[in-house]
Structure 1
Amino acid sequence: MDAPLHAEPLDVPAELALVAIDMEKYSQIPEAKMAAARCDVDDIVATVLAECELPDPQELPGGYKDNGDGAILLFPPSVLARLVDPLLGRLNGALVRYEQQRLASSPVLRLRASVHVGPLSLPDHRGDAINDTTRLLDSRATRQALSAAKDSGGFLAAALSEIAYRRTVHAGRTPDLGSHHFLGVAARVSDKPGFEQPCRIHVPGLTGPAVRLYLTDATSPTAAPASVPQPSDAPTTPAPGSGGTFQFHGQVSDSTIADRIETLRIDRRQR
């Protein structure tokens, strides 16, 4: 049997999958009710993890980091896809059920979440992976996406790092979630001016285009760059009857959209 390799200071730590959660407006909850609200969140998360047959992060040394109004949970990287699907949808569903049974004196529980994967040393949690996970959680885009969740009757908004998205959704490992359930954004944090990373926003029950209305940092990560017109390019006039495509992401109240529309086809696939 070979002896284990001796870890050197410059060795790359083993990869871990990370999920961070944060309670909305936790600091506004009366102090006497903070512990109970946080306990309810912990119970909901533990129940959903068990439903998804995911390992208990607290069984991994340093696998659970309490942040007061939230936590960072660490998992083996092999379960990364399940941290996206079914975890996010089931977590939102559990929060919906909680709301239906919530006492009027108890606070509403809404969560932001982020999912990432990367090298991280334990038990000291040193590494960029945990910093990036936290910043995705705190990004302006994730906070704005929670407003989309509220308006649609949901209680969760999540951000996936680009690497987590590509290893799970893009790779076809999320049977109930496709690319149209996510929106590409530039994750920025107001008090971290040097941080900007591409990520994917997900609000359970909504498509990416439906969430776009709420975000100021939406991008098109997979779109090809627009071609730059050359001096020899002459402007062209569309041929009569050539048609066009109009996309409306909200209610249209103006009765006049164009001078003349010969054929109108309504695509409801994103409803």
Structure 2
Amino acid sequence: MSVPLPLPHAESRPLPPYRGVFAVDAKDFTGLPAVQHGPVSRLIPELVDRALDRAGLGEVRSDKRFPANTGDGIVFGFDPAHLPSLVWPFLRVLDEVLGTYNQQTVGPRIRLRASLHVGPLEDADGNGTPRNDTHRLLDSRPVKAILAASSAETTHLAAVISDRVHEDVLLGGYTGLHPDRCVEVPATVSGKTFAQRAWLFIPSPSGNLLDAGVLPQEEAEPPAAAQASTEEEPTAARYHGNTQHVGEGAALMGDVGGDFTYTGRSTSYRADNQHWGGGDNVSGDKHVGNPGADA
């Protein structure tokens, strides 16, 4: 039996309730041996629920809307009143829960991508554009590239926050996470006509992410000598708030893939393709300045 489809703009109808949407998926899930797929698929929601409890969000855990297991992750809706706490402290606590598990396990490490969004969705099935966009954000190039470029020993979670959540929750001052802890990125997905402004938050940055300026705010303050020399060194990379100004160095805006190395005033990037929001588009190796000068 066919279901009649409502015609858009034909009449006014009630707007579905606004729901926060949270989704995660596991890095390299398909690369696991088939025998581990089932256990890891069941483990991910357990770790998320453990983090919800530790973050004081037991109400969210018990009142999930349209929860679903996606195989390599989960998605669920929740009352948007809890959005500030899902941003902080939940993302930090989830990173800690993953870190503790990864230190103790003899099995595969669980490293997650997470996305947060909000919009009108029916509780019955959760179908709608906001949910679709939540999954697109999760699959977007920047969040995948950041997790791939970081240390598996330290960085267990990479979160992407929608622009709507960023504006309402972070810029609105409703959460404990300062906006300067997030980096603006153009969220695009290979093979999809999806492009949105979004914001990356890495609770535990590591390795090249530290060199590139993705640091917690309290750790990112340069020493006094470096501050004094800013005007004398116009080619140094500087990070202010949500904008990176780079003369020579590395800016995490757009796509990053493969190995990413930054040392002093020279950069080396090795991958088959390099994609940036603007500037050079280089295939192969790129060296800026004199790579041997600081050797």
Q: TM-score, normalised by structure 2?
A: 0.66
| Residues 50-91 of structure 1 deviation map (CA, whole Å, 9 limit, x = unaligned) | 111224556447431211111112110000011111111111
State the Cα distance separating 1:149 from its structure 2 match. Answer: 3.7
| Residues 95-132 of structure 1 deviation map (CA, whole Å, 9 limit, x = unaligned) | 111111011xx111110000001110121222111011
Higher relative contact order (CA 8 A, sep 6+): 1
State the Cα distance separating 1:40 from its structure 2 match. Answer: 2.4
What is the CA RMSD across the aligned residues, in angstroms?
2.9
State the Cα distance separating 1:253 from its structure 2 match. Answer: 6.1
State the Cα distance separating 1:145 from its structure 2 match. Answer: 1.5
In the alignment, is residue 186 of structure 1 matched against residue 186 of structure 2?
Answer: yes
Give the counterpart letter for 1:121 in structure 2: E
Cα distance between partner residues in 1 of 2:147 and 2:47? 19
Partner of 2:234: 245
Aligned residues: percent identity?
29
In the alignment, is residue 135 of structure 1 matched against residue 136 of structure 2?
Answer: yes
Query: In structure 2, do the counterparts of structure 1 residues 20 and 62 end up closer, same or farther at CA, with 3 Å as the change threshold?
Result: same
Partner of 2:81: 78
Partner of 2:198: 199
| Residues 15-44 of structure 1 deviation map (CA, whole Å, 9 limit, x = unaligned) | 001110001111222222222222222221
For structure 2, the residue ranges without an aligned partner over 5 or more in a row are 1-10, 215-230, 238-248, 250-261, 267-288, 290-295
Query: In structure 2, do the counterparts of structure 1 residues 133 and 79 end up closer, same or farther at CA, with 3 Å as the change threshold?
Result: same
Partner of 1:122: 123
Q: Given that residues 81 and 167 in structure 1 are in contact (C-alpha distance below 8 angstroms), is that contact kept between their aligned partners in structure 2? A: no
Cα distance between partner residues in 2 of 1:62 and 1:38? 19
Q: Given that residues 64 and 78 in structure 2 are in contact (C-alpha distance below 8 angstroms), is that contact kept between their aligned partners in structure 1? A: no
Give the counterpart letter for 2:186 in structure 1: A
Cα distance between partner residues in 1 of 2:102 and 2:153? 14
Query: In structure 2, do the counterparts of structure 1 residues 212 and 64 end up closer, same or farther at CA, with 3 Å as the change threshold?
Result: farther
Give 1:92-103 correspondences, 5 Å limit: 92-103=95-106
In the alignment, is residue 12 of structure 1 matched against residue 15 of structure 2?
Answer: yes
Cα distance between partner residues in 2 of 1:99 and 1:89? 15
Question: What secondary structure does 1:85 align onto?
Answer: helix
Give 1:27-42 correspondences, 5 Å limit: 27-42=30-45
Query: In structure 2, do the counterparts of structure 1 residues 132 and 211 end up closer, same or farther at CA, with 3 Å as the change threshold?
Result: farther
| Residues 163-198 of structure 1 deviation map (CA, whole Å, 9 limit, x = unaligned) | 1111222122232x3222111111100020x21000
Give the counterpart letter for 1:101 in structure 2: Q
Question: What secondary structure does 1:63 align onto?
Answer: strand
Give the counterpart letter for 1:63 in structure 2: F
Give the counterpart letter for 2:236 in structure 1: Q
Q: TM-score, normalised by structure 1?
A: 0.72
For structure 1, the residue ranges without an aligned partner over 5 or more in a row are 1-7, 216-241, 258-271
Give the counterpart letter for 2:163 in structure 1: E
Cα distance between partner residues in 1 of 2:263 and 2:211? 15
Give the counterpart letter for 1:168 in structure 2: V
Cα distance between partner residues in 1 of 2:23 and 2:98? 16
Q: Given that residues 81 and 168 in structure 1 are in contact (C-alpha distance below 8 angstroms), is that contact kept between their aligned partners in structure 2? A: yes
Query: In structure 2, do the counterparts of structure 1 residues 9 and 127 end up closer, same or farther at CA, with 3 Å as the change threshold?
Result: farther
Partner of 1:160: 161
Question: What secondary structure does 1:123 align onto?
Answer: coil
